[in-house]
Amino acid sequence: MTDRINRRNFLTKGAIGGAATVAGAALAAPAVAQELPTIKWRLTSGFPNNLDTIYGGAVVMSQALSKITGGKFEIQVFQAGEIVPGPQAIDAVKANTVEIAHTCGYYFTGKDPTFAIGSTIPFGLNGRQQNAWLYHGGGNEAYNEFLADYGVIGVPGGATGAQMGGWFRKEIKGLADLKGVKMRIAGVAGEVMSRLGVVPQQLPGGDIYPALERGTIDAAEWIGPYDDERLGFYQIAPNYYYPAYWEGGLTIHFFINKAQYEGLPDAYKAALDAACKAANINMQALYDVKNTTAIRSLVGKGVKLRPLPRDVMDAAYKTTFELYAEYSAKHPAWAKIYPGWKKFRDESFEWFRVAEYSYDSYMYAAQASGK
């Protein structure tokens, strides 16, 4: 594991300066803030601070918010475990132990699988489509109707893009090879994989390497090349699969105590929204840069990049939509959101096939051929 990094100082100015500066310039902070109250909140992250990019989304937001409000509205960021363990983040916000958390909705599918639909679900939206649905397709409004029952609201605050399909000790040549594999995989994806023969384990990011090292698990998925290399998975499980069919476009949310949010002045609500958007855009851009370098580094270290076998993908696709039908029958909140999500997904796919897919397919093939 990498050394822990001080939560207040680990990010360089280069990593966060652009997002914070742009957001800070959006409002004339001193003039606005002089007439507003001083507010200090605490934020619990779902991530350790040595995972600087995903943990750093909360720091980007906090620093941008402080600049926008002239230091009148400040949020102190704590890594997972400093106040409460990551799996207790939603409960801590609901109880007002902290005012805000930064984590993934799908970590809480044990309460209701609907928690996952606002973050990402198997065979769902890519990163751009996810933002479109959440910001302008009614997605986040529908998600917040669900979250209201838990006393929280969710605001998008980070994105990873399509993730990798995980690290395996042994090569997976086909569906049969998944049987009995103990794999760290979270949420709805874990349920799908369990129906394909995998034994899913839900572990926090910091616990994955020791579990692989001890042989407690045989495989693990986390995010992508940059974080995965930092966590050292390649040292134990050399087979690196792609893509993560379960995470085509993850959104990390800021989960905010509903009463605390509603009590904010309108100017602070607007400032918080702008700062969260800055974090969302910044995180995706950082991952796109860092993963480009890290994947080359991993291949240079002998990592074997492998696509998930087609029979695995096909079986997972069929199983996934059977599971969604079960959720619709058993979980009223899921049944309320899912039809709109599915309609948006299908229509968005039709459009993206026209321009984005045709452009990408040609360009990647042309570049690979040496043109």
DSSP assignment of 157-192 = EEE--SPP-EEESS---SGGGGTT-EEE--HHHHHH
Residue 205: per-residue pLDDT: 81
Is 103 strand, coil or helix? strand
Q: Find the angle CA(214)-CA(160)-CA(154) to the nearest 5 degrees.
A: 105
How much is the pTM? Answer: 0.89
Cα gap 278→306, rounded to integer Å: 34
Residues of the chain with pLDDT > 90: what percent?
88
| Structure tokens that stand for 354 in this block | 């026209």
Check: CB of residue 132 under 8 Å from CB of residue 140: no
Pick from 3-17, 130-144, 149-163, 316-330: least confident? 3-17
Nearest alpha-carbon partner for 280 in 147, 88, 132: 132
CB atoms near residue 143 (< 10 Å) = 27
pLDDT digits (tens, 9 = 90+) for 157-215: 999 999 999 999 999 999 999 999 999 998 899 999 999 999 999 888 889 999 999 99
Backbone φ/ψ region at 186: left (φ over 0), alpha (ψ -120 to 50), beta: beta
pLDDT value, residue 26: 47
pLDDT band at 6 (very low <50, low <70, confident <90, very high): very low
The answer to whether 166 and 242 have CB atoms below 8 angstroms apart is: no
Name the nearest CA neighbour of 252 among 86, 368, 106, 34.
106
- The confidence score (pLDDT) of residue 202 equals 87
**Is residue 29 pLDDT above 80, yes or no?**
no
Rounded average pLDDT over 343-363: 97
